[in-house]
Structure 1
Amino acid sequence: MTSQNNSQNSVQSLPTISLQGLFDQDPAEASKLLDASKQYGFFYLNFQTISNSETILDLINQIYRFEERLFSLPQEYLMKYDVDDIGYMKLNGEEMLDRLHCLELKNGRDGFESYAIPKDGVLGLGDEPYVRPPIFDENMPMLKAYMREMQEVTISIHKALTRALGLEIGGKFEEYHRINQPSPCILRLLKYHPQPIDERGASGTAHTDLGSLTILFTSQPGLQVLMKGSDEWEDVEPRAGHAIVNIGDGMSLLTNGLLHSSRHRVSPPHGQAMKTRYSFAFLQRAQEQTPLVALRSPLIQANDESFKVVTSGEWLHQKFSMLRAKTHDKEKNWMLTGYREIPTKTH
């Protein structure tokens, strides 16, 4: 890959996966995907290769326009409908103030704003009504189409990794991420406020994603990744017609660390001020009763006897609790990053 800027801190080798290749069940593309998921935990996903690319890319542009309208509304108004604070769709353990006012700059502006839209609410998979701002009603067909498309995309990734790893029936990734089953997946909309060079700082704590897969769309730089074995943050440049995909904690736990959940953050590009930045991500999470235990594969090392099995729902709750806590049990610090050293499997 050739980076889109000349920064020596940009990732120079992040792989690109063809979405059409995944749809076609191309073994070579599945092997390439597995290698990227093990080595980097990040990759570009090319949407331009699929037959209906114009329709999907137009849908992506509609989401951009929708989030700009949404974030123009008063925060006090949006918080009345916030899914992280209301009912059974409470998907987030962060404090409201911390979540909506995440970085205080010198001039008093916030670092970024975030708004979560639950898949189950949009697709009507829950037992309770989805409480939402009126602006959602006129955009519900678009949101439903987006959720379904992203589920299809993530399932194609799961199936390719299932084949590449030789997973068995009853322990396949796609069986834990069924499209029409309730799960705490969300579309997270993000707006990052501008930062002059003299106020530069990372907008939010470096973290790993606690779910299975993240499908990020952004047209502006700012994403930085800490690659495996490196102590230097590297810029991941946006690409037109591509998503940036990363492996989350859930997939890492299901493979006992074989698939890598990389730490990442949003920060002004090296030597530059942060411009107003819009992005959005589909955060896929497994069905809540999914046991996060190493799946059976000749490539995956089994968990040791002391391993305590948690479900996907329990993992979300525990990690959110850790994020809220002011102090942490040192033995559980790895949960903050979703990563702990896993012995290398020998043959």
Structure 2
Amino acid sequence: MDAQDNFADIVNNFPGLPPFPDDVPIAPLLRLSLGKLLAGDKAELERLYEASVDIGFFYLDLQDCEHGESLLGDADGLFQVGESLFKLSLEEKKKYDFSAQNSYFGYKGQGVAVVDKQGNLDRNEFYNISKDDIMGISDPLPAPEVLHQSRDLTKSFMQGSHAIVSLILKILNDKLSLPEGTLSNLHRLQAVSGDQVRFIKAPPQPVDDRRTALGQHTDFGSVTVLFNRLGGLQVLPPGADAEWVYVRPLPGHAIVNLGDAMVKFTNGLFRSNIHRVAAPPGIQGDSTRYSLVYFARPEDNVMLRRLDGSELISPIEDDQVEEEINSKDWIIRRALGRRVDLVKDIDYEKSAGTEQMSRRIKV
């Protein structure tokens, strides 16, 4: 089933929010079942592999198993935390601005990152919470009281999201016939990494100037688990003449996508698809858009290079040079690469990620 179906078997709208319009193009994403994946359903495992190769995005239905329902409950709780977090004064939030720390944990205000070649600035604010902090792997980071009070809920959400990431990595590992545990052992929950939860707020844009809120990019980690309730996320499907299409939020579902690390590990076999965030379509554009994300990244010391051990992963070409960079350095470079307050000469194309390397026409 893809996003062009009518979703007659699910509720199409989130309570209390304006409906997603029916007259905008939506991305043809597969809708996968967490329950079936956990049960090892062969057809569902194959659909996951297909989505990973074709577009790198898919819906994950969380309503058909206890694990999924628990994660949905945690996400609902954190949406409320996010709203309280962003209601804090700008002065209070700026105390935790990560630009002062040359880090990517903490607060990012609106209008500090470039979103296009013309130099327009972003229209969202977000707050990144370190997995290592919440899991007790590193020292606690300074944070507002509302986040201190919700550490247990954040930990539960991280554990639930990471378990889904581990399941996806195991399935893809088996599909590639890699030695058992190859991918999972690069993403251990208790190991030092750049994994994080991100709260995002995008206020309504001016009616006469609704444009990109977050510039086109690929994610620089391995697997992203996203929860949002209003439209705005757009992907650019494969193909020379492709046009931007919306990813319609579905109640009870997460939106999952692969990141650049999976492209590098498989030498372009898996897809880290380019995407961006625009103003929500139709009457949704009058509402504030909140999102909640779990970003899973390789452990800090993992080198981002092609993995050996699978016949499905093409060899390095004679004229191909793999960059020698570990996950930690890669993440810092990508996370801060479009910050006008930190980078003098922003290379917009380079900061977009692996998409320019991996983009290819499907025939």
Q: TM-score range by the shorter chain?
A: 0.7 to 0.9
Query: 5+ unaligned residues in a row in structure 1: which ranges?
Result: 104-108
Asked if 1:301 is matched to 2:317, the reply is: no
Aligned to 1:290: 302
Asked if 1:323 is matched to 2:323, the reply is: no
Tell me by how many angstroms 1:267 deviates: 0.8
Aligned to 2:37: 22
SS at match of 1:244: strand
Asked if 1:202 is matched to 2:212, the reply is: yes
Tell me by how many angstroms 1:316 deviates: 1.5
Name the stretch that deviates more: 49-58 or 211-220. Answer: 49-58
Query: 5+ unaligned residues in a row in structure 2: which ranges?
Result: 7-11, 13-20, 116-120
Tell me by how many angstroms 1:317 deviates: 3.0
Distance 1:269 1:134 in 2: 31
SS at match of 1:293: coil
Structure-2 change in CA distance of 1:292 and 1:274 (3 Å): farther
Q: Does the CA-based 8 Å contact 2:108-2:125 persist in structure 1?
A: no
Q: From 32, 35, 38, give the equivalent of 2:53.
A: 38
Asked if 1:220 is matched to 2:230, the reply is: yes
1:168-206 per-position Cα deviation (integer Å, ceiling 9, x unaligned): 247x21110001111111111001110243121110211
Q: Does the CA-based 8 Å contact 2:122-2:212 persist in structure 1?
A: no
Amino acid in structure 2 at the alignment position of 1:307: E
Asked if 1:338 is matched to 2:354, the reply is: yes
Structure-2 change in CA distance of 1:304 and 1:184 (3 Å): same
RMSD over aligned CA atoms reads 2.8
Structure-2 change in CA distance of 1:183 and 1:17 (3 Å): same
Q: From 277, 287, 291, give the equivalent of 1:275.
A: 287
Aligned to 2:9: none
Aligned to 1:9: 25
1:111-143 per-position Cα deviation (integer Å, ceiling 9, x unaligned): 2111111111111111x3322222222211111
SS at match of 2:287: coil
Q: Does the CA-based 8 Å contact 1:183-1:285 persist in structure 2?
A: yes
Structure-2 change in CA distance of 1:340 and 1:309 (3 Å): farther
Tell me by how many angstroms 1:277 deviates: 0.6
Q: Does the CA-based 8 Å contact 1:292-1:309 persist in structure 2?
A: yes
Aligned to 2:71: 56
Distance 2:73 2:347 in 1: 47
Distance 2:140 2:149 in 1: 17
Question: What is the 5 A alignment of 1:227-238?
Answer: 227-229=237-239, 230-238=241-249
Aligned to 1:264: 275
SS at match of 2:295: strand
Q: From 129, 132, 143, give the equivalent of 1:117.
A: 129
Distance 2:94 2:84 in 1: 15
Aligned to 2:85: 70
Structure-2 change in CA distance of 1:200 and 1:341 (3 Å): same
SS at match of 1:205: strand
Tell me by how many angstroms 1:40 deviates: 1.0
Tell me by how many angstroms 1:99 deviates: 6.0
Asked if 1:242 is matched to 2:253, the reply is: yes
SS at match of 1:114: strand
Tell me by how many angstroms 1:149 deviates: 0.8
Q: Does the CA-based 8 Å contact 1:120-1:182 persist in structure 2?
A: yes
Amino acid in structure 1 at the alignment position of 2:334: K
Q: Does the CA-based 8 Å contact 1:110-1:193 persist in structure 2?
A: no
Tell me by how many angstroms 1:100 deviates: 5.9
Tell me by how many angstroms 1:284 deviates: 0.9
Distance 2:156 2:36 in 1: 22
Question: What is the 5 A alignment of 1:94-173?
Answer: 111-126=123-138, 128-169=139-180, 172-173=182-183
TM-score normalized with structure 1 length: 0.86
Amino acid in structure 2 at the alignment position of 1:208: T
Amino acid in structure 1 at the alignment position of 2:195: C
SS at match of 2:74: helix
Tell me by how many angstroms 1:210 deviates: 0.8
Tell me by how many angstroms 1:41 deviates: 1.1
Tell me by how many angstroms 1:59 deviates: 1.3
May I ask how many residue pairs the two structures share in their alignment? 331
Q: Does the CA-based 8 Å contact 2:338-2:346 persist in structure 1?
A: no
Give the fraction of aligned pairs with identical amino acids, expressed as a percent: 32
Distance 1:91 1:36 in 2: 29
Amino acid in structure 2 at the alignment position of 1:33: L
Q: Does the CA-based 8 Å contact 2:131-2:197 persist in structure 1?
A: yes
